[in-house]
Structure 1
Amino acid sequence: MSNRAKPIGRRRDGRPIYPIKGAAPTLTEQRDEIVRLLQDDSYEGDLDELMKRADDIAAKIEQATQRDSRLRALRAAALPAGDPDPQPQHRRTEPGQQPDDQGREHPVSAAEAFIRSKALEHFRTNGKIGKFSVEYRDAPTGTVTTTNGVPTVPQRQPGQIPQNPDFPLLIANLLDRQTSSGNTLEYVRDTSGPVAGSGTWNKSAVVAEGAMKPQSGPFSWDTITTSLKTVAHWVPITRQAADDDGQMTGYINGRLQYGLEYKLDREILTGNGTTQMQGILTTPGIGAYQPPVGSTDVKLITLRKAKTQGELALYPPDAVVLNPLDWQDIELDTDLNGQFRVITNVTEGQAALRIWGLTVVTSVAMAQGTALLGGYRTGATLWERQGITILMTDSHADFFLANTLVILAERRANVAVHTPRAFVKVTFAAATT
């Protein structure tokens, strides 16, 4: 019998193809050999071993088939236009192009919204402006129905908004903030005063079966109808500056947006409620605390006693607004041994902006010698019709001839002080010499 190996196939011309001597058999060769042995009725080898080899080679062939399928599918796949950067850390960081701190692609400031707008792109491309505007809303989205004098109850989140390390905490950020669907604002204001004797409206009690249930109260309400107020201002800017993203960002963030935020804070505190927004300090029914005549309580102690008054009114305070000079007095207050009562980190330049568990906001909008302590998120809501809107035009006076543009920023908002008793106006005792 010839020892020559059997051919594994034939060429097109019919000549046989023999396996390479010493080469490992291919999967096809192994499969064919096992098939031949399984079909051989006279096979006298270990049948269990043969079946195991059959299962093993079938699994290897299936794996090879799947690999080939995946390879063909991958080669056929086409990337869409604008294939995303496989290394997101290489995103552009020039002004107006940053995602926000959660990676979302919408602008993170009014300036960036304006710079990324199609209107500004059209102006830079065509050199024609006329007038255009871009709105940036940092207030909650959506609409709220305010019918029958009773607005929809907003969802309030517990806790305080953390202070941004780059910007001072604003008074507006202490309030519940909601979006109004129209220019007219109607809401109900709780004008119930303290009840004689118990000092509370809550008459809930354990009631025996069949006994009369108690009625809480008395309650009294006023329906307040007002309108949202517009806060606005503008600055001139050259066409050359308008073509520069960095300068545009500086104008909008450094001047326009800052000015609106400053005025909004002042209105929240002291607005007259008619031609201006409703200020908390000018709202009837807020609480008041002043040390008794002859008291030597320092401001630190006065705030603690005012906090107790708020708690007794069943509206626990969560924040206090102070004039910077009053906060300075609290930080520099020392005991008889010359030790600071408030722990101050002189390296950082100030103590943590918290006192007696309250968030502290300092603002020159608050008059020296007074403070406003309260449950801000439960006592008032800042309603906003729109966010900050930025407008730019060359249609002002002779600015067109002077190659100068106008950038205007505005917002529409008002404050609903629906629970005045949630606030306590604090008047500090006069300093003694």
Structure 2
Amino acid sequence: MSNFAKIRPIGRRRDGRPIYPIKGGAPTLTEQRDEIAKLLADENYDGDIDELLQRADKVAADIEQANQRDARLRALRSATLPAGDPQPQPGQRQQPGMQPDDQGQPHPVSAAEAFVRSKALESFRANGKQGKFAVEHRAAPAGTVTTGTQPQQNTRVPGIIPNNPDFPLLVASLLDRQTSDGTTLEYMRDTSGPQSTWNKAAVVAEGADKPMSGPFAFDLITTTLKTVAHWVPITRQAADDNSQLMGYINGRLTYGLEYKLDREILTGNGTTQMQGILTTPGIGTYQPGVGNTDVKLITVRKAKTQGELALYPPTAVVMNPLDWQDIELDEDNNGQFRVIANVTDPGAPTRLWGLTVVTTVAMAAGTALLGGFRTGATLWERQGITILMTDSHADYFTANTLVILAERRANVAVHTPAAFVRITFAAAT
């Protein structure tokens, strides 16, 4: 019989009589530890040493886990919320801007929520809504460094960004997005043209000379980040209402910036504006030949082939809503739609020939842009959306009206123009 089978007292009463464990009751971790320690110290123990060591390891691990759990519990109970971070009481409706994000994190998930949660807005209201303040919200990981002793360094892109398809809602979402630490952007633009013209890789015999690929051609592009901004008036009464503030910021200011950003990405002139993809030298073009009456559905498919032949597989196509309407409503000779659209679920991803479709009025009707967007271009942002509020604007002070301004600084680096194809649809007959 092993020593564990012996019934041992687990304590003594006040009168000295022993207390035995309840039959069938499991020993505590303390009891197991003391019992195993006693057996390990017993030089005359003749039981299974390996089994005893395994039990010792298990009990030690269980005790460590219990200690960690106790430490976490004590830390949680002693944790306190920072001052000025009110939490809703049970049953109390949460105020706008206090909701957590999709992962349950308490930090703001939009520029509007960052604004209404800010200490700056709280102080602005407490001071009678006088003066001026700004709140910045950066959706991308922070990378900005501010210093008063060293000049800001230009942001130089070290190479070509690999392809990684996305499922966007906006043109900006199609691009790779990065954070710039300065106001000047430098990057290398590949002007080599289609890869098939420089790729000289070949099978060679043993000892023979290996072919050299090329020629390669790169231009160093130096540009600056551009500021996109606009403002709207708001009454002092509305400035006290978080719901109205978020409505103004999300419904007017943020949407306006996003729309303008999409237009700049497509058609910016690259000098006084951002660099637009359509205005970048070296992008491919496709247009049905003279007398060719291909419908728009077929034209997009042939343009996709051109992009694939350039060895930059397209991932998306951007077009005007009128052109997309023509494609969706295109019928064959039997009156059947050529494209099967999901009319019962407008939120479903829109695709054509395996490409993500983005429709926007920023693209002129009769044209489209097809390409490997994350392969060909990167959107560099100096800051997220910054929201400013002030009472110092012309006659608005005497009219009890404030100003809310939204701005962002960004530019597009079109480093691989050959990844894009501009489509011009055949004129309707």
**TM class by shorter-chain length?**
0.7 to 0.9
Bigger mean CA deviation after superposition, 315-324 or 78-87: 78-87
> Which residue of structure 2 lines up, in the alignment, with residue 306 of structure 1?
303
Does residue 164 of structure 2 align to residue 158 of structure 1?
yes
**After the TM superposition, which residues 246-265 of structure 1 pair with which residues of structure 2 at under 5 Å, given as runs?**
246-265=243-262
Q: 1:76 to 1:269 in 2, by over 3 A?
A: closer
Equivalent pair of 2:159/2:188 in contact (CA under 8 Å)? no
Equivalent pair of 2:160/2:415 in contact (CA under 8 Å)? no
Q: Please report how far the alpha carbon of residue 402 of structure 1 lies from its aligned counterpart in structure 2 after TM superposition.
A: 1.4
User: Aligned partners of 2:76 and 2:362: how far apart in 1?
Assistant: 62
User: Aligned partners of 1:131 and 1:76: how far apart in 2?
Assistant: 40
Q: 2:426 aligns with which of 420, 423, 429?
A: 429
CA deviations over 1:378-432 (Å, ceiling 9, x no partner): 1000011111000001111122221111100000001010100000000111112
User: Aligned partners of 2:236 and 2:105: how far apart in 1?
Assistant: 31
Does residue 181 of structure 2 align to residue 181 of structure 1?
yes
Does residue 197 of structure 2 align to residue 200 of structure 1?
yes
User: Aligned partners of 1:107 and 1:124: how far apart in 2?
Assistant: 20
CA deviations over 1:352-379 (Å, ceiling 9, x no partner): 5100110000000001110000000010
Equivalent pair of 2:12/2:18 in contact (CA under 8 Å)? no
Equivalent pair of 2:161/2:375 in contact (CA under 8 Å)? no
Q: 2:267 aligns with which of 262, 267, 270?
A: 270
TM-score (norm 2): 0.79
> Which residue of structure 1 lines up, in the alignment, with residue 137 of structure 2?
136
Q: Please report how far the alpha carbon of residue 108 of structure 1 lies from its aligned counterpart in structure 2 after TM superposition.
A: 0.8
Report the 3-state secondary structure (helix = DSSP H, G, I; strand = E; otherwise coil) of the residue aligned with 2:406: strand
**After the TM superposition, which residues 274-285 of structure 1 pair with which residues of structure 2 at under 5 Å, given as runs?**
274-285=271-282
Q: 1:150 to 1:210 in 2, by over 3 A?
A: farther
Amino acid aligned to 1:98: Q
User: Aligned partners of 2:124 and 2:155: how far apart in 1?
Assistant: 45
Equivalent pair of 1:186/1:225 in contact (CA under 8 Å)? yes
Q: 1:34 to 1:147 in 2, by over 3 A?
A: closer
Equivalent pair of 1:344/1:350 in contact (CA under 8 Å)? no
> Which residue of structure 2 lines up, in the alignment, with residue 373 of structure 1?
370
Report the 3-state secondary structure (helix = DSSP H, G, I; strand = E; otherwise coil) of the residue aligned with 2:12: helix
TM-score (norm 1): 0.78
> Which residue of structure 1 lines up, in the alignment, with residue 395 of structure 2?
398
Paired residue total: 380
CA deviations over 1:104-160 (Å, ceiling 9, x no partner): 12101111101011000011122143110000112343269x979952348757231
User: Aligned partners of 2:335 and 2:284: how far apart in 1?
Assistant: 34
Amino acid aligned to 1:221: F
Q: 2:356 aligns with which of 343, 359, 363?
A: 359
Report the 3-state secondary structure (helix = DSSP H, G, I; strand = E; otherwise coil) of the residue aligned with 1:297: coil
Amino acid aligned to 2:284: G
User: Aligned partners of 2:204 and 2:350: how far apart in 1?
Assistant: 46
> Which residue of structure 2 lines up, in the alignment, with residue 10 of structure 1?
none
User: Aligned partners of 2:332 and 2:389: how far apart in 1?
Assistant: 56
Q: Please report how far the alpha carbon of residue 60 of structure 1 lies from its aligned counterpart in structure 2 after TM superposition.
A: 7.0
Equivalent pair of 2:235/2:401 in contact (CA under 8 Å)? yes
CA deviations over 1:309-328 (Å, ceiling 9, x no partner): 00000100000001000000
Equivalent pair of 1:272/1:282 in contact (CA under 8 Å)? yes
> Which residue of structure 2 lines up, in the alignment, with residue 119 of structure 1?
120
Amino acid aligned to 1:387: G
Report the 3-state secondary structure (helix = DSSP H, G, I; strand = E; otherwise coil) of the residue aligned with 1:121: helix
Equivalent pair of 2:164/2:375 in contact (CA under 8 Å)? no
Report the 3-state secondary structure (helix = DSSP H, G, I; strand = E; otherwise coil) of the residue aligned with 2:261: helix
User: Aligned partners of 1:75 and 1:288: how far apart in 2?
Assistant: 66
Q: 1:58 to 1:82 in 2, by over 3 A?
A: same
Question: Which consecutive unaligned segments of at least 5 residues does structure 1 have?
Answer: 1-24, 36-51, 164-168
Does residue 84 of structure 2 align to residue 81 of structure 1?
no
> Which residue of structure 1 lines up, in the alignment, with residue 51 of structure 2?
none
Equivalent pair of 2:377/2:415 in contact (CA under 8 Å)? yes
Amino acid aligned to 2:289: P
Q: Please report how far the alpha carbon of residue 94 of structure 1 lies from its aligned counterpart in structure 2 after TM superposition.
A: 2.6
Equivalent pair of 1:310/1:424 in contact (CA under 8 Å)? yes
Report the 3-state secondary structure (helix = DSSP H, G, I; strand = E; otherwise coil) of the residue aligned with 2:395: coil
Amino acid aligned to 2:12: T
Bigger mean CA deviation after superposition, 335-344 or 264-273: 335-344
Report the 3-state secondary structure (helix = DSSP H, G, I; strand = E; otherwise coil) of the residue aligned with 2:370: strand
Does residue 419 of structure 2 align to residue 413 of structure 1?
no
Equivalent pair of 2:231/2:405 in contact (CA under 8 Å)? yes
Does residue 16 of structure 2 align to residue 28 of structure 1?
no
Q: Root-mean-square deviation (CA), in Å?
A: 3.9
Q: Please report how far the alpha carbon of residue 348 of structure 1 lies from its aligned counterpart in structure 2 after TM superposition.
A: 3.4
Bigger mean CA deviation after superposition, 267-276 or 126-135: 126-135
> Which residue of structure 1 lines up, in the alignment, with residue 316 of structure 2?
319
CA deviations over 1:17-42 (Å, ceiling 9, x no partner): xxxxxxxx99636996679xxxxxxx
Report the 3-state secondary structure (helix = DSSP H, G, I; strand = E; otherwise coil) of the residue aligned with 1:135: strand
Q: 1:75 to 1:431 in 2, by over 3 A?
A: closer
Q: Please report how far the alpha carbon of residue 92 of structure 1 lies from its aligned counterpart in structure 2 after TM superposition.
A: 5.8
Amino acid aligned to 2:80: A
Identity %, equivalent residues: 70
Q: 1:64 to 1:359 in 2, by over 3 A?
A: same
Q: 1:80 to 1:420 in 2, by over 3 A?
A: closer
User: Aligned partners of 2:218 and 2:190: how far apart in 1?
Assistant: 5
Q: Please report how far the alpha carbon of residue 57 of structure 1 lies from its aligned counterpart in structure 2 after TM superposition.
A: 9.7
Q: 1:210 aligns with which of 207, 221, 231?
A: 207
Question: Which consecutive unaligned segments of at least 5 residues does structure 2 have?
Answer: 1-8, 35-65, 146-151
User: Aligned partners of 1:402 and 1:89: how far apart in 2?
Assistant: 40
